[in-house]
Structure 1
């Protein structure tokens, strides 16, 4: 099984964290590839930045999807996954969606631990879009500037742990979701010190992607996820044009 994880952020240090956690979560016979956005921002915090990240992810997906059995959009907030599901014939999984589904199997109410206060509005809207707003206990976040996005876990280790404990003790969370690719792997390292299950988006997405590939789903040819209709386009990459034209489908 070949899984492609796309980091819609431009930070290679974050891609390294994604790759390490994905390898730990993957089955022995699963091959992991990680690609970093060729343009965009270092880390996505806002709705507008997510639009840029979605197009970066779509660009990479159009170029590389045929060599893989599933794609993971490796950013919390899942930029572009609905559109990618229309265009691709393989499963597409997002970190948020996968983490939320895992959390719902482990408890009733969940809290999300995030890297910044600005990111909270977008995360809350993503939870609502997945129909799970009533199960969200809280979103807690770091409130200090990030010096190095690749070192968030090391620079803020104690504060992140304290946020998890506050979500349990003060907000009544049954499950903690550690949000965002820069925090990939943190759940694994702190779970023994948190009194409820702790969910990681990258490992959840890898496991869910593997399950979907194993189920061998039929690609949508009707319904709301049917391929986009053929129409003239301009200024797109050759790979994107082929994908939109349907000539690159399996």
Structure 2
């Protein structure tokens, strides 16, 4: 199984965290290829920054996604989703939707622990888009400025664990999601310190896409995730233009 993992942030230090956790979570025989966005911001906190990241992610998906068995978009908030599902004929999954789906199977109500206060509004939008707002117990976040995006785990580990305890004790969470690629791998290191299941978006994403590939459910040839109709375009990269020029099929073509 060939898995393409994309960091929508431009931070190579975060890509290293993502790659390490993806490889730990992958099944034997899964080949993980990790890529970093060529444009955008160091880490995404807002809707605008997510919008800026989406074109860079789309470029990587267009260039390499067709050669993979699945694509994982590895930033909480899933920049470019769900539109990226229309681009290639393999499963394209974001770590937010993977984490939310996993948490929903582990408990009734879940909480999200985030790395900044500004990021929480965007995360609420993502939960709402997934139709899971009624199951969201809370979102709690760090309040102090980050010293480095690649060192958040080391700098704020105890604060993050405290927040995880708070959402269980005060907000009624059955499951805790440690949100964001900078926290990749932390869940497996602190799970023994928490009284409820802890979900990591990267490992959840790897497990979910592996399951989708094994299920072989077919591709979207109709519906809202089918490829867009062919039409004139301008200013696109050769890879994106080629994807958009691929034959458009409908249910009648089956």
Q: Contact 1:8 / 1:36 at 8 angstroms: preserved in 2?
A: yes
Give the C-alpha shift of residue 87 in structure 1.
1.6
**Residue-by-residue CA offset, 1:171-228 (whole Å, 9 max, x unaligned):** 1100000000000011110000000000000000000000001111211111111210
Query: Which segment drifts farther, 240-249 or 107-116?
Result: 240-249
Equivalences for 1:55-94 in 2 at 5 Å?
A: 55-94=55-94
Secondary structure of the corresponding residue to residue 48 of structure 1: helix
Counterpart position of 1:18: 18
Determine the C-alpha separation between the residues in 1 that align with 2:66 and 2:131.
Answer: 31
Determine the C-alpha separation between the residues in 1 that align with 2:83 and 2:216.
Answer: 20
Unaligned 5+ segments in structure 1 are none
Mapped pair 1:158 → 2:197: no
Work out the number of aligned pairs and report it.
249
Counterpart position of 2:115: 115
Following TM superposition, the consecutive aligned residue runs of length 4 or more in structure 1 with deviations greater than 6 angstroms are none
Counterpart position of 2:252: none
Q: Contact 2:229 / 2:248 at 8 angstroms: preserved in 1?
A: no
Mapped pair 1:237 → 2:224: no
Q: Contact 1:242 / 1:248 at 8 angstroms: preserved in 2?
A: no
Unaligned 5+ segments in structure 2 are 250-254
Mapped pair 1:38 → 2:48: no
Determine the C-alpha separation between the residues in 1 that align with 2:207 and 2:5.
Answer: 12
Q: Contact 2:230 / 2:248 at 8 angstroms: preserved in 1?
A: no
Determine the C-alpha separation between the residues in 1 that align with 2:3 and 2:247.
Answer: 22
How high is the TM-score relative to the length of structure 1?
A: 0.98
Query: Which segment drifts farther, 130-139 or 217-226?
Result: 217-226
Determine the C-alpha separation between the residues in 2 that align with 1:234 and 1:43.
Answer: 29
How high is the TM-score relative to the length of structure 2?
A: 0.96
Mapped pair 1:174 → 2:174: yes
Equivalences for 1:43-58 in 2 at 5 Å?
A: 43-58=43-58
Give the C-alpha shift of residue 248 in structure 1.
11
